[in-house]
Amino acid sequence: MNQYSLPHAMAFTFIWGVQDSGVEVFTRIICGFQFESKTLPFSVKTLVMPLTEFVLVFSQSFIKSQTAFTIYFVFVGVFGVLAWLVFLVSFDLVN
């Protein structure tokens, strides 16, 4: 079904790391500069991130077929794009 390729895995891991670090820096910038409180945004982020990871990993444990895999990742991708659109439309950035 799926063939393992070391170069493909290395490239994917590198791209994933760059993307993850970029999102982490962006969220820290938003938490640090866009809110009046200097501790509450980081506290909320520290609470929400592990809970979200738990829910996603737990839901991934129910994936048993290629079709379910595709449906799950399409759903997560659409959710991610919608979350960014909501952020861009409704978040008033401080200059």
Report pLDDT for 88.
Answer: 86
Report pLDDT for 36.
Answer: 86
How far CA 57 is from CA of 23, 32, 43, 51, 83, in Å, comes to 19, 28, 22, 10, 19
pTM here?
Answer: 0.65
* pLDDT of 23 strictly over 60: yes
Report pLDDT for 22.
Answer: 94
CB-CB contact of 81 with 20 (8 Å): no
Report pLDDT for 93.
Answer: 73
**Residue in 66, 62, 71 with CA at minimum distance from that of residue 2:** 66
Q: What is the pLDDT of residues 26-82, one digit of tens each?
A: 889 888 888 888 899 999 999 999 999 999 899 999 999 999 999 999 999 999 999
